[in-house]
A and B are shown apart, each in its own frame.
Chain A
């Protein structure tokens, strides 16, 4: 690759020395479909001589074949990656490009400007130090510009270049440039008032196609006194602020090669640390001092943001993966309830109440989302009432985790204030979020330890508590079987309670309907009630359709080990429908009832129930007998 630097040929050692000192800047380019984004990136690669001769000849022949620039080189072809994209002429995913100048190495996140834009842009922006917002000089600030700017702001990028492109098509008009810059600055003022950050804006008039103001100042726009795009990128701050922030290091790995060494490995997220510094470990709050900073290249006196190190402390305190080592005097916060901005990235919607996994740094915990406080319209920035979030929607939501985690507000620290949400069944990354602040609610309500506990209560009743969870289609026979079983247990003097879906919907859950979101909440509440009852020592029979695996799994995870018995009342839809005891299937088929399980709302059968009952082969009485015997075998009851 022909780097221009004459040093390569004349003094390679001096060249290598000078490149040793290069810094690294990561940036993202945002623009809509025809703003010339690929052309801009292709142009930068070309101008920085990162294109090989063979690539260049391929580019020239490709340009003639499928380019859009007539006989000229189509730089956009350089950055079009996947074969399927080349055919469709679109970019479908985030791609990373690399180029360097004599001063800096650059990593560019190239994200598509059309569908999936929110998901892909957020991904590219999450690691960027700077954003280039591309505007077509003929069109000015348009809806997409606002949308891109909002996402950049929410992802915490302060340093923004407004690149006003295609200046050649507006006769390099200074007035045009100034009008667009003024429009943009006025609009951007409002951004800092939401949950994002305020921009530091530099506007540059360019023509990516013709090369104006890309590397050197353009002769066509002598009225512009600012730097060229590359000049600006070479000097822009690249994460220096992180070093000034308070020290944070999430622990990735406890390094114990032998009994004499115990170190905590991680990458310094922010700030600096030196030997002797006092640290506090969160969430435990234990304190110690740093004895040594260990690396293969020898011990360090200090370490700064970005470095991967191993810390040895002066005290044997308990630290595990996911804990955050922080400055003792400026520790991170600890909480289990937060207000957050959430970007939804999955095909299926975010459902309040459904349990997800939340991963922040190396820490993974269980989390549930309460209903969105509001959704943010990415085009108008309006706050819209919402009960769920669909793919590519952004909302402000409260999140509760099942244990305390260490964090900082995202606007203070992008490393310790960010998280992703993972679906527990598909393992997909379904959402990305930034933490605003902790909800004090959780800090002020302490768990009351009681002297009379579950063991004592169940011992008094001479039984083991259990939750017998009947799931199956409407009309499958759940309540009939549960009722017979409860009678048998009562006859033996066991203390029981039957929570029936229809009955609970008359009281506790009478405010809930039958949408997916309401079904999730319906199950969450009844699972909480069942938990209290088993805490009271009862054998609880739950007879709910409970159509979704993830909520049944949530219910299981709330109970003590071995206490949850999932009973699949397995009746084929045709059979249940032909019985139609309550006449509901007929109504559902007629369209009088919406969201009816099995008809227009899905039922997800259990994969591994403790016991499955085939109601086609067994009578309800036989089924109850089988269950009774199962409880005996499991030792939940004895005779």
Chain B
């Protein structure tokens, strides 16, 4: 009798092999976070002794934590994988950034638009993403194989029925598919699997003394000197960690002393706010994620 994690792992492997066999030009979106770490780990298992027959794609907004980039490069070189890094150069030329333009514009230009650019530039027809159905209400209805129209939009009312584990991967010209092999994992499953399989994760998940400022009730880490410090603000060192990772100006730190994996899981289980609260982009109205997804945000 398999345990729940063994079943979830086997299901994810099955999904990845289906994509590898049927897609023309697949890619794995690698965001460097814990879900990506699990997805990548499973991809290594799915094709062993071969390496995964697709490259990784990181959409770099140029505002990621420096430790994330170091971790990314180290991981890719250890595993011997192909990595494509895409930056929206037009956005860079226009000087788009979270401080100057706010989170909405920054995310739209440097993340959503950049992702579309990258997929189109390389002609990827299928992209793996690490999203889970338990993350957020609208995700609960998304298929494992989720179709996007030519302009990368998601139509929640027109999804293909997905029966058994038979995936219909056929698409019309211009359409692309997002595939979510971790659909049925929960946040606890992810952490438990990382613990069980000893999967390396970015050190930012562990508590450490880090320079932060408190801004609008959120602790923002001063990761480089692009961050403008307001007159009333003070940079102070506090023992903090991150529950999710993204652009450093948009990712709130939490004060914590959890500096081991088990302590993180313990804290996660005892904590009283759900995962996405740390992300500044979700703080608008309730249906925000559904709207973003229809527009092509992953």
Surface stretch bound by B, among A87-95, A217-225, A538-546, A613-621: A87-95
Tell me whether B164 and A306 are in contact (CB under 8 A).
no
Tell me whether B21 and A252 are in contact (CB under 8 A).
yes
Check if B4 is an interface residue, CB within 8 A of chain A: yes
Question: A1: nearest residue on chain B (CB-CB)?
Answer: B269
Once A93-B141, A428-B160 are accepted as A-B contacts, the answer to whether A20 and B3 lie under 8 Å apart by CB is yes
* Interface residue range, chain A: 35 or more
Complex Cα distance, B144 from A126, in Å, reads 15
Q: Which residues of B contact A252 (CB under 8 A)?
A: 14, 17-18, 21
Once A22-B3, A24-B4, A81-B140 are accepted as A-B contacts, the answer to whether A8 and B270 lie under 8 Å apart by CB is yes
Complex Cα distance, B270 from A393, in Å, reads 48
Tell me whether B192 and A16 are in contact (CB under 8 A).
yes
Tell me whether A422 and B161 are in contact (CB under 8 A).
no
Check if B99 is an interface residue, CB within 8 A of chain A: no
| Chain A window 84-120, contacts with chain B (Cβ cutoff 8 Å), 1 for yes, 0 for no | 1010000011111110100011010000000000011
Tell me whether B138 and A82 are in contact (CB under 8 A).
yes
- Chain A interface SS verdict (over half): mixed
Tell me whether B164 and A418 are in contact (CB under 8 A).
yes
Tell me whether B141 and A95 are in contact (CB under 8 A).
yes
- CB-contact partner of B166 in A54, A263, A304, A359, under 8 A: A359
Tell me whether B265 and A16 are in contact (CB under 8 A).
yes
Once A81-B140, A255-B47, A308-B10 are accepted as A-B contacts, the answer to whether A98 and B168 lie under 8 Å apart by CB is no
Q: Which residues of B contact A53 (CB under 8 A)?
A: 272-273
- Chain B interface SS verdict (over half): helix
Tell me whether A418 and B3 are in contact (CB under 8 A).
no
Complex Cα distance, B268 from A1, in Å, reads 7
Tell me whether A96 and B161 are in contact (CB under 8 A).
no
Tell me whether A12 and B265 are in contact (CB under 8 A).
yes
Check if B290 is an interface residue, CB within 8 A of chain A: yes
Tell me whether B163 and A420 are in contact (CB under 8 A).
yes
Tell me whether B262 and A104 are in contact (CB under 8 A).
no
Once A126-B163, A267-B10 are accepted as A-B contacts, the answer to whether A105 and B4 lie under 8 Å apart by CB is yes
Tell me whether A96 and B14 are in contact (CB under 8 A).
no
Complex Cα distance, B272 from A489, in Å, reads 84
Check if B234 is an interface residue, CB within 8 A of chain A: no
Check if B280 is an interface residue, CB within 8 A of chain A: no
Complex Cα distance, B162 from A473, in Å, reads 38
Tell me whether A361 and B266 are in contact (CB under 8 A).
no
Q: Which residues of B contact A3 (CB under 8 A)?
A: 269
Check if A174 is an interface residue, CB within 8 A of chain B: no
Once A23-B4, A296-B45 are accepted as A-B contacts, the answer to whether A265 and B164 lie under 8 Å apart by CB is no
**Closest CB of chain A to B28's CB: distance in Å?**
16
Complex Cα distance, B257 from A104, in Å, reads 30
Find residues 38-85 in chain B having any chain A CB closer than 8 Å to their own CB: 44-51
Kindly count the residue-residue contacts between A and B in the assembled complex, taking CB atoms under 8 Å apart. Answer: 201
Surface stretch bound by A, among B181-189, B211-219, B245-253: B181-189
Check if A122 is an interface residue, CB within 8 A of chain B: yes
Tell me whether A432 and B161 are in contact (CB under 8 A).
yes
Tell me whether A255 and B4 are in contact (CB under 8 A).
no
Total number of B residues with any Cβ neighbor in A under 8 Å: 69
- CB-contact partner of B2 in A306, A357, A432, under 8 A: A306
Complex Cα distance, B164 from A419, in Å, reads 9
Question: B196: nearest residue on chain A (CB-CB)?
Answer: A20
- CB-contact partner of A310 in B8, B48, B168, under 8 A: B48
Check if A415 is an interface residue, CB within 8 A of chain B: yes
Check if A354 is an interface residue, CB within 8 A of chain B: no
Complex Cα distance, B263 from A13, in Å, reads 9
Tell me whether A307 and B2 are in contact (CB under 8 A).
yes
Q: Which residues of B contact A150 (CB under 8 A)?
A: none
Tell me whether B140 and A16 are in contact (CB under 8 A).
no
Complex Cα distance, B188 from A100, in Å, reads 10
Tell me whether B192 and A127 are in contact (CB under 8 A).
no
Tell me whether A127 and B165 are in contact (CB under 8 A).
yes
Check if A138 is an interface residue, CB within 8 A of chain B: no
Once A3-B269, A252-B17 are accepted as A-B contacts, the answer to whether A82 and B161 lie under 8 Å apart by CB is no
Complex Cα distance, B7 from A481, in Å, reads 64
Question: B170: nearest residue on chain A (CB-CB)?
Answer: A427
Q: Which residues of B contact A373 (CB under 8 A)?
A: none
Check if A185 is an interface residue, CB within 8 A of chain B: no
**Closest CB of chain A to B110's CB: distance in Å?**
26
Complex Cα distance, B7 from A359, in Å, reads 23
Q: Which residues of B contact A119 (CB under 8 A)?
A: 161
Find residues 1-47 in chain B having any chain A CB closer than 8 Å to their own CB: 1-11, 13-14, 17-18, 20-21, 44-47
**Closest CB of chain A to B47's CB: distance in Å?**
7
Once A81-B140, A126-B164, A422-B170 are accepted as A-B contacts, the answer to whether A93 and B10 lie under 8 Å apart by CB is no
Question: B172: nearest residue on chain A (CB-CB)?
Answer: A427
Find residues 36-80 in chain A having any chain B CB closer than 8 Å to their own CB: 52-55, 58, 79-80
Complex Cα distance, B50 from A310, in Å, reads 11
Tell me whether A255 and B164 are in contact (CB under 8 A).
no
**Closest CB of chain A to B256's CB: distance in Å?**
14
Check if A360 is an interface residue, CB within 8 A of chain B: yes
Check if B287 is an interface residue, CB within 8 A of chain A: yes
Check if A2 is an interface residue, CB within 8 A of chain B: yes
For the A-B complex with A52-B273, A310-B48 known, give 18 more contacts whose Cβ atoms are closer than 8 Å. A8-B266, A21-B3, A23-B1, A23-B2, A53-B272, A54-B274, A82-B137, A83-B138, A83-B290, A96-B184, A122-B163, A255-B47, A257-B51, A267-B10, A308-B13, A427-B170, A429-B161, A432-B163
Between-chain CB contacts (< 8 Å), 24 pairs: A1-B268, A2-B270, A2-B272, A3-B269, A12-B262, A12-B266, A20-B196, A22-B4, A23-B3, A24-B7, A82-B156, A83-B291, A98-B134, A107-B184, A123-B161, A253-B17, A265-B47, A359-B166, A361-B166, A362-B18, A418-B164, A426-B172, A428-B160, A429-B160
6 closest residue pairs by CB, A with B: A257-B50, A53-B272, A83-B287, A24-B4, A308-B13, A52-B274
Contact surface of B with A, Cβ cutoff 8 Å: 1-11, 13-14, 17-18, 20-21, 44-51, 133-134, 137-138, 140-141, 156-157, 159-166, 168, 170-172, 183-184, 186, 188-189, 192, 195-196, 262-263, 265-266, 268-274, 277, 286-287, 290-291
